[in-house]
Structure 1
Amino acid sequence: MRTDQRICSVERDGLVFDVLDEGPMDGEPVVLLHGWPERATVWRHVAPILNTAGYRTLAMDRRGFAPGARPKRRRDYRLPVLIEDVAALIDEVGGSAHVVGHDWGAAVAWAVAGHRPERVRTLTAVSVPHPAAMMKAMVKSDQLKKSYYMLLFQLPFLPELVATRRAEWFDVQLLKGGMSREDVARFRREIVEDGALSTSIGCYRAMFLTDPRVLRFRVSAPTTMVWSTKDVALGRWGAEHSGEWVDASFELVVLEGTSHWIPTQEPDVLADAILRRVRG
């Protein structure tokens, strides 16, 4: 494990990913992966709790979000590429780590655990289920209806135009989905004003460029799935069936009455779930 200095950034394929490295340098590393439309700062309430418990946290601005990692092509955001971005960070801290992800960060975390199992000590996936369970949920439940926005994001230019020229309407949709006004304002600062809006959607626009076989993997790491009942984007079916793809201990944690934005709205509960897993 690299304990001689803080990791402020990681380079891969000519791109630079910013990293928030906090907590005791010799603590077990916990990699924190954010979703959309947020950045590494989404872990600002969770990381201190993990740090106090003795863990070193590394929250990375993912591809499309970090100022030095915003390629323009859709194919640069395929899932196998996103996996290697995280693997590069884990290599910087000794080659293995506990991995936690929320939203798109959870989708990537699942994939890292499945395709790079030697790098993942434990997995905590927040909100988003195993990709194969997600695909099944599209036909077994109302998940397809909940995921309509993913199809809208495939359209060129339109999502960006709506988010900027109809900013008030767009922000209201985030508020209706449970995001706080503080975090909507943060979205405006860290995503829109910082120039990351179009590239941050890259992960959605590359969805259909990824071979579906890449999604059908098994996970050997002990895993916790955290899901909330007021999540307007992710239904219960995928969360409940994610354990079918895990060949180790699996726990489903259901947060009653909480929206999709678990890291900022229930940081204490989420941190407890993470600590139970990494200590287990």
Structure 2
Amino acid sequence: MRVDARGFTFDVTVDGPPDGVPVLLLHGFPQHSGEWDDVTPRLHPGGLRTYALDQRGYSPGARPSAVADYRIPELVTDVVAVLDALGLDAVHLVGHDWGAVVAWAVAARQPERVHTLTAVSVPHPAAMAHALASDGQQKARSSYMALFRKPDKAEKVLLAWHATALRKLLGGVGDSSRVNRYADPMREPGALTAALNWYRAMSRADLANVGPVAVPTTYVWSDRDVAIGRTAAEACAANVTGDYRFVQLAGVSHWIPDTAPAPLAEAILARTGGTAQAGGTA
């Protein structure tokens, strides 16, 4: 479905029982709401109704041109506005990668709109800041961001030769058809620039303004994540004042929703109080 909010049109994939408990899912870079397609069917038998949002820059009808339009406060306001447009007072919130950053910020700033939080791969911004200041390996893991923040150059590097570098970045999501599913939309005019503008708009001030989270929270991390190391993952707990669970997936890459949908669904069901088993295999 399409949702009009803040003068934009956002694409939202809705599924599950019409009277189910609402769950809003936020994707990461450089993907889209389709990254949840193997997760959401495992949530529906648990009585959950899922809303997978194509966020700002990824929904073609919500793609402003200015870098400042992609600051974290704008992304948070989008989520709240979409919830208002859907008539949802509060939801269980799930986010992966950049979607996790937005989810952390929504939970911290608008806790009345969030029943529970499940953050996937990326920890609380303060935990990342701690790791970057204290762990040289985390600095190396995050070094790719320097390229992503460079206008034009990043696009040229990632899209050259039929987006070879972008496809390599996505190599861990699965087979070539799954890689193409995410890479091809990024080749549309303006799409990759909009996605990269999330990195270009990122500031220490905005990240520092994401305070502690009081809502019940689960953080899911995988030990083969090339972008997020153990220091950042284990520092996450210090930034949650509500009930907190740390779920570690062994032998799984950064692309958890694609490669380990069953254990991820189990973690979400456990956090939200869903009644069904996730079932299936990763």
Structure 1 distance, partners of 2:259, 2:111, is 30
Cross-structure match for 2:222: 228
Match of 1:16 among 9, 12, 27: 9
Give the TM-score of the pair, scaled to structure 2.
0.91
Q: SS in structure 1 opposite 2:92?
A: strand
* Identical residues among aligned pairs (%): 47
Aligned pair count?
A: 270
Cross-structure match for 2:98: 104
- Structure 1: segments with no counterpart, 5+ residues: 1-7
Answer yes or no: is 1:188 the counterpart of 2:180. no
Please, what is the CA RMSD of the aligned residues? 1.5
- CA apart distance, 1:170: 3.7
Task: Confirm or deny: 8 A CA contact 1:32 1:58 kept in the other structure.
Answer: yes
- CA apart distance, 1:15: 1.0
- CA apart distance, 1:174: 3.1
Question: 1:258 corresponds to which letter in structure 2?
Answer: V
- Structure 2: segments with no counterpart, 5+ residues: 275-282
Cross-structure match for 2:280: none
Structure 2 distance, partners of 1:225, 1:9, is 30
Match of 1:273 among 247, 259, 267: 267
- CA apart distance, 1:212: 4.6
Match of 2:212 among 212, 218, 225: 218
Q: SS in structure 2 opposite 1:238?
A: helix
Cross-structure match for 1:197: 192
Structure 2 distance, partners of 1:210, 1:10, is 30
Question: 2:224 corresponds to which letter in structure 1?
Answer: K
Structure 1 distance, partners of 2:13, 2:145, is 29
Q: Which runs of 4+ in 1 moved over 3 A?
A: 209-213
Task: Confirm or deny: 8 A CA contact 1:64 1:201 kept in the other structure.
Answer: no
Answer yes or no: is 1:146 the counterpart of 2:134. no
Structure 2 distance, partners of 1:260, 1:47, is 18
Task: Confirm or deny: 8 A CA contact 2:166 2:183 kept in the other structure.
Answer: no
Cross-structure match for 1:250: 244
1:106-127: per-residue Cα shift (whole Å, max 9, x none)? 0000000000010000000000
Distance 1:173 1:39, change over 3 A: closer
Cross-structure match for 1:83: 76
Cross-structure match for 1:46: 39
Q: SS in structure 1 opposite 2:209?
A: helix
Cross-structure match for 2:278: none
- CA apart distance, 1:171: 2.1
- CA apart distance, 1:17: 0.8
Cross-structure match for 1:59: 52
Cross-structure match for 2:120: 126
Task: Confirm or deny: 8 A CA contact 1:79 1:210 kept in the other structure.
Answer: no
- CA apart distance, 1:184: 1.6
- CA apart distance, 1:210: 4.7
Match of 2:167 among 171, 177, 183: 171
Structure 2 distance, partners of 1:194, 1:183, is 21
- CA apart distance, 1:194: 6.5
